[in-house]
Every structure is written in C-alpha cells, then in structure tokens.
Structure 1
C-alpha cells in the first residue's frame, strides 16, 4: 500500500490521478493549494508527494524548500509542471525534489517513477525506522525503543520526536513544531510545552543521558553526535 499526497490545483487532473491510482491500491490525499499541501505533508506520513509548481497561496518551489530545510522531511517529491526549462529542473533538484515530470505525461510512466522513488526511499530508511543514539523510532507508528525498552508514544509526541530526529542535531524552532501539530491555528504557547514535557517523560525520564535539550527562546534539539538509519 503506497500512501500518496497530490498537491495540485487542477481538479480535472486530480480526478484523473484518483481514477488511475486508486484501483492500483494507492491511498491518496490531495490538497488544492500549497499552504494546505505543506500542512498535510508535515502532519502525515506519505510514501511520496506529487507536487505541482504553479500553486495558489504557496508555490511548489517554496513548498519543497520549506519541507526540506525547515521540517527536515525526506519524503520523496516528484514535481509536476507544464513548463520544461532546464533552469526550473535544476532549481527543483537543488531545493530537494527527487524527480521531475512535464505535463502532459503518461500515467503509466508516472506510476513507474513513483514506484522507483519509493523503492529508493525504502533503501535509505529500511523498514521505516530512525535511530539517534540509543533511541529508535518507527516512522509509521507511534512506537519507540530506548536502550531496547519499548516506549508507546502519542500521535503528537510521535510527530514531534520524528521532527527532532530528522533535524538532529540542529534546533527545531518552536514555530515549526506548532505548525507541525496545529497548522496555521496554534493554541496558546503552553500547549506545545505540555507536549514537549510529555515527550520528555516518555523518552528521558527513565533513561540516561537526557536527549532533549531546550534552546531557550528558540526551540529544542536532540543531543548526540549523528543520526543513522537502521533496520
């Protein structure tokens, strides 16, 4: 089962994509503007994203840059565009796109490209696991292990922990975490601190050393030398 996010504002093309991919077993979500697409991409786990370049509210290039640089999200991105200038392709790849397809395109070719992207991503992240120090986290289910001990996460702490691990050892800003959980409508600032406290209780309270460090006035980060992929 491949989970696919389509970020495209052409309703006819979106309908055609649903009609072709759903019978093949794909599970599909779609967003008709860039801001909604970015929120969905950061709040949910997808195997691949189809991303149009010309979008309302937030263009595809900016969305891809934010997804990679601000949210450290490695999900495979295939850009769709009605244009074919070399500069666009070069810029897209520089911003973190994995593949590029010019409209109109063959749906069979698109299917083949998505499958290739998903296979490569699975090779980089075997069985959907991330490891940092003695902490291991399932990217697809709210489950973690530290020093071999199982830890049940909530959906919110799971999202926050994955965000920290993908960014580590860099700092994740408070605003990025709020957007990850609540999009453009975050509650009062105490709500995020409650979730961070809960995450610390889950992964730091019973273990040494503590991994989550507060960068006062900025955000949080994980302590340790480097992240590695693991099976």
Structure 2
C-alpha cells in the first residue's frame, strides 16, 4: 500500500513509518491539513490516514475538499475524539473508517487492508513514461530499458513530479514543497536528492534525462524534447 499520513504528532508519524515500512508499505506524511490536501490531490495513494485536529485546516474540512475534488482513496480518521457525535460528523464528512487514539498498530494495518479490499483494491493504475524511463503508479516501481531502478522515497517523489511535468521545467520551490511542504530543511538538501536521483536514473545510461534549468529548477525529458523546448 501507498499510504498518506496527515498527522502533526511527529512521534506518532515516526512510529507509523517504522511499523508500516518494515512490512513493505510506502508512506508519505504531511504535518498539517493544507499540505495533506495538496499531496492527496496531486499524488496517487491507496489509503489516507487523517487526523482530526490539524494546523491550517482540520481533518473534516480536508476530507470534504478531497471528496469534492473527486479523490476516492479510502480515508481512515485517526483521532482522540471518541464521542458518538464526532464519529457521526467524521463519517458524514466522507470518512470510510474511524479509529480513536490510543490504538494498536496492527489494528490500524488490518483496518486499512479491509478498506482497500472493500474498495476493490482501488489504485491509480497508470504508468508515467518519458523516453525509456517508466514509473508504475500502482507499484511505484521505476524502470529504464526494463532495468529496475533503486530509488529512495524522496527520489521517487521527485521523479514523479518531474515525469508529470515533462518536458516542462519544475521549479525548485515546487520540488521542495513536494518533499517537505512548507518546512524545508536548512541547507540545499534538494540538490543532494537530485544528485542521488541522477545516479539512479541517468548514471548507467548514455542518454541523460534530468537537466538543470539555471535559476529555475529541473526538468526531465528526452534529448529531442529538450531541444524542442529550448526552441532549437
């Protein structure tokens, strides 16, 4: 499963990552409601774990906007609010399940698996492709010329952003937001992640797809597309 966790409790998020990634799941996290909404609308997730009380936009408002935007991924609300009126409000906002804190991690996993099963294993099945590079949005597997590429979660996120925009450029600000929301780390960590992504995507191959656009950001495109975009 690819799971989006919208939760501002960093300790809880760390526990979720440790537990679910050890079982082969892929997690992304957002520390506030607005960032969670952005990620859920612009990326494909199998399920969303959504806290109720969040900075910038609370859980039920995020959920309503997701449903208005046509996002059908199952949503499990994870909250300390255990009164019946709260549960009713959560379901009416569009939640598929409701789990109160404190909880056991295996129960959360089983509930998410059940949601996915009831939804028919709904996944975004499209494949992004640029030249001989492919990214399967269902399995999150990246390949080039049929060769599997090893990508860390940050590199996979950057690759998805670049492939969706190809052959256009993606600004540094957009890429930083995709990785860290409104709280990018100090220093030029983006450059380091791009370097690692280049090693995986371009290193073993003669044709280089990832290009730096000075003072703007980066783009990913085949040589012919790059030349066309440059007006040559």
TM-score range, shorter chain: 0.5 to 0.7
The correspondence of residues 130-145 of structure 1 with structure 2, limited to 5 A, is: 139-142=125-128
Aligned twin of 1:90? 88
Shift of 1:118: 1.0
Aligned twin of 2:108? 110
Specify every segment of 5 or more residues in structure 2 that has no aligned partner in the other structure, as ranges. 130-162, 167-180, 183-232
Q: Is the 8 A contact 1:33 1:55 kept in 2?
A: yes
TM-score (norm: length of structure 2): 0.54
The correspondence of residues 143-154 of structure 1 with structure 2, limited to 5 A, is: none
Whole-angstrom distance in 2 between the partners of 1:58 and 1:17: 22
How many pairs are equivalent?
135
1:155 corresponds to 2:179: no
Whole-angstrom distance in 1 between the partners of 2:84 and 2:126: 36
Using CA pairs below 8 Å that are at least 6 residues apart, which structure has the higher relative contact order? 1
Whole-angstrom distance in 2 between the partners of 1:19 and 1:96: 28
Q: Which digits, 9 at most, give the CA deviation of each residue in 1:113-165, with x for residues without a partner?
A: 01001111226x5xx4xxxxxxxxx643349xxxxxxxxxx7369xxxxxxxx
Q: Which digits, 9 at most, give the CA deviation of each residue in 1:183-219, with x for residues without a partner?
A: 99xxxxxxxxxxxxxxxxxxxxxxxxxxxxxxxxxxx
TM-score (norm: length of structure 1): 0.55
Whole-angstrom distance in 2 between the partners of 1:108 and 1:77: 17
Aligned twin of 1:4? 3
Whole-angstrom distance in 1 between the partners of 2:61 and 2:128: 29
Whole-angstrom distance in 2 between the partners of 1:17 and 1:117: 18
> Deviation above 6 Å: which 4+ runs of structure 1?
none
1:66 corresponds to 2:65: yes
State the superposition RMSD in angstroms: 2.1
Whole-angstrom distance in 2 between the partners of 1:83 and 1:96: 16
Query: Structure 1's 60 and 122: CA in aligned 2 closer, same or farther, altered over 3 A?
Result: same
